[in-house]
Amino acid sequence: MRRRILRPEGRRRSGEVAGRSRKPVIVGTPMLGFKGRSPGQFNSQGAKWLPRNGEQRYWDPYNLPLRTEERYEFALGEIARATTKKDKSAQAKHYGVKSPPVLRRVGSLERARSHPYELLHLFFENVVPNLYKFWADEFPVPGGYGEYIIPKEVWDEIWKEITAAMKLIPSAFTRSLAGGPSRFTAESWYFWFVYLVPGVLRGRFPQEEYYTHACEFGSIIKLCLQFHISELELQLLERKMVEWVLEYERLYYRSEPQRLSACRLTIHGLLHVAKNIRDCGPGWTSWTFFMERFCGFLIHGLHSRKRPFANLTRRLIHFMYLEQVSLRWDLVEELAIFKPPVKAISSSEKKFPGYTSIVVGTPRQSEHSPEDTQKLKIAKYLHDRLDVAGASVAKIVRVLPEHMPRWARMRIVDGDHIRAAWKRPRNAEELRDNTFVRFTKQTPRIQGNTRLFRSKLAYGRLEELLECPLPRKTWLGQYSGKTLLFAVVTPCAGSHRDARESVVGYRSMDAPVVVDVRSIEAVVGRLPVGERWILIDRAARTFKPEFVPAAVEVGVEEDELMDLYT
């Protein structure tokens, strides 16, 4: 990075340069906690970062001066030419390079493009926690203002709402956040900021622009965490990130020199994220959630403060012993430390023909007799899809079976676990609610001589999973002699917008509807805010940490396991 000095220029607005038009200035300041000092002098009347030798006085955030391989070599040469240890340390601190790296011998490696900002630490251990500190009046910056500070009594109310919501959010979404920020991990900050902040902080900032700015960063995070990302999306990300950083400077830095510490180096790092993704691939290729979890596995082996590294070494060796034994004697499942994802069908589950992506699970009530209103809705569903003359709703009702077995659980293959509300588990008080779902309702409409169906997104509570065997009747068409699976869902009133893209809430429930079980797309959570319920739906196309349960303990019943892992 070019050397920069501070030169008094008088008090000016951010981005204003003497004798030039006002253009954005994106600066990076040392992170608090580092002992290195910035070169130059400071004037209390205002100062400006200037490059050496009269170079341009501002950086275009869309075209930042990036480090090149040649600059790396130049920096290493400067360090090598330093004659004293003190000079070498000063040069290393100035250029950000200590010594030639081991991978320098790999000639095909372009170091300037091979070390992206790691999203876990950049977003969820720096930028997001610092935003919270601003809002809670805990950020170490002088001259705090009330426009973004949320009073303590309001925060107490917010954390009560979040604590109450933990029972209503499936465990697959996140660990409990009831402990508050002091116990948050990076994954906790991610879920809290992306999915809960839009609901719990709405209307709670003294000025609405801070809420809008926070929600915009949430949408940026979702874009960064996509499993696949196109060049057009990268261009959009770059533009949105620059706009967000400039707005951040306006809202939190405010062109006041005494508030310069608000512009942490990590804020500047956001401007490089789009290029990092373009050079090194989507964020999942370099993030460290899996490494952090393995570090957590190692920490359990620490028993001595005097010899911690011996403890870590022993734990690793024991882990390798188990791995080798499991491979040599085919004991991979028996010695598994983490429970592998469920792939096969267990003895308490069943998959029906035609439902390749749906697996239903016990308990199963075989003698269940559905209500007449439910039978009528099933008949109406079949009538809308049968293109056979004479197949009236009343005729279909007469051939429906008297008993329709109902199942208590279902799971989507490679997807979510969902529980029907009719069956309350034995340990219901210990479980988190996973009965609310995102599904699609199909409304028939006639276009010419063709019957078309319009899909409409909705949210609701899964009441029952019905198994409906149909008799062999020619007029039943493609449904003749087949067993169909129906879901009875009570929709949330007015919840037809996509909760993955915006804040969607409801105050009441509509009348139950009957849909094909394949219409259920995902499990969702809920967040109580005042007299409303905010729906929590995980973003589509994004990657996220999945928490694999510990290995199954011997003697635990399968039904209990299904409750524990849903």
Domain range for 381 is: 349-564
For residue range 348-407, what is the model confidence (pLDDT) as tens digits? Answer: 899 999 999 999 999 999 999 999 999 999 999 888 887 666 678 899 999 999 999 999
> Residue 316 falls within a domain, yes or no?
no
- Which of 300 and 458 is assigned the larger pLDDT? 458
More confident residue, 403 or 9: 403
Residue 468 predicted with pLDDT over 90: yes
Cis bond before residue 363 (omega within 30° of 0): yes
- Residue 295, domain member (yes or no): no
For residue 317, tell me if it sits in a domain.
Answer: no
Cβ neighbourhood burial of 116 (10 Å; 0-12, 13-18, 19+)? buried
Task: Write down the pLDDT at residue 105.
Answer: 80
> CA triplet 117, 546, 215: central angle to 5 degrees?
55
Percent of the chain with pLDDT over 90: 46
Question: Is the pLDDT reported for residue 546 higher than 60?
Answer: no
Residues 179 and 256 placed together within one structural domain of the fold: yes
The answer to whether position 429 is within a domain reads yes
**For residue 539, pLDDT beyond 80:** no
Does residue 485 lie within any of the structural domains? yes
User: How far is CA 245 from its chain centroid?
Assistant: 21
Handedness of CA 543, 224, 250, 14 (dihedral sign): positive
Does 516 lie in the same domain as 397? yes
Nearest one of 353, 562, 389 to 470, comparing CA atoms: 353
145 compared with 117, residue with greater pLDDT: 117
Maximum average pLDDT range among 20-24, 257-261, 384-388, 444-448: 257-261
Are 185 and 245 in the same domain? yes
Q: What is the pLDDT of residue 449?
A: 65
Q: Do 553 and 504 share a structural domain?
A: yes
**Residue 340, pLDDT score:** 57
pLDDT higher for 560 or 162? 162
485 plus 362 within the same structural domain: yes
Lowest-pLDDT range of 23-27, 379-383, 486-490: 23-27
- Is 308 inside a domain boundary? no
Q: Judging by beta carbons within 10 Å of its beta carbon (0-12, 13-18, 19+), is residue 394 exposed, middle or buried?
A: exposed
Residue 339 located in a structural domain: no
Q: In this structure, are 373 and 454 located in the same domain?
A: yes
Distance CA 422, CA 412 (A): 19
CB 513 within 8 A of CB 441: yes
Q: Which of 255, 265, 257, 258 is nearest to 36 (CA)?
A: 265
> Is residue 226 within 8 Å of 233, Cβ to Cβ?
yes
pLDDT of 412 reads 93
Is residue 420 domain-shared with residue 493, that is, in the same domain?
Answer: yes
* Residue 507: inside a domain: yes
In the listed set 111, 142, 166, which residue is the last one of a domain according to the structure?
A: 111
Q: What is the mean pLDDT of the chain?
A: 81
Pair (410, 549) in one structural domain: yes
**Which of 15-24, 51-60, 133-142 is the least confident region?**
15-24
26 and 52 both lie in a single domain = yes
What pLDDT sits at residue 19? Answer: 35
Q: How much is the pLDDT for 125?
A: 92
Which of 53-67, 179-193, 279-293, 304-318 has the least mean pLDDT? 53-67
What band does 3 get if pLDDT is binned at 50, 70 and 90? Answer: very low
pLDDT at 144 over 80: no
Q: Which residue has the higher pLDDT, 511 or 549?
A: 511
Distance between CA atoms of residues 110 and 240, nearest Å: 27
Burial of 419 (0-12, 13-18, 19+ CB in 10 A): buried
Q: Which of 290, 312, 330 is the last residue of a domain?
A: 290
Q: What's the pLDDT score for residue 53?
A: 52
Same domain, 360 and 381: yes
Check residue 447 and give its pLDDT.
Answer: 66
- Are 273 and 407 contained in the same domain? no
Give me the residue label for tokens 């129906």: 486
Sign of the CA dihedral running 141, 147, 152, 154 = negative
* Structure confidence at residue 40 (pLDDT): 33
Predicted confidence at residue 410, as pLDDT, reads: 95
pLDDT at position 561 is: 33
Q: Total domain count for the chain?
A: 3
Assess whether 375 and 254 both reside in one domain.
no
pLDDT of residue 544: 63
| Final residue belonging to a domain, choices 77, 111, 145 | 111
Q: Mean pLDDT throughout 475-495?
A: 91
pLDDT tens column, 183-230 = 898 889 999 999 999 999 999 999 999 999 999 999 999 999 888 899
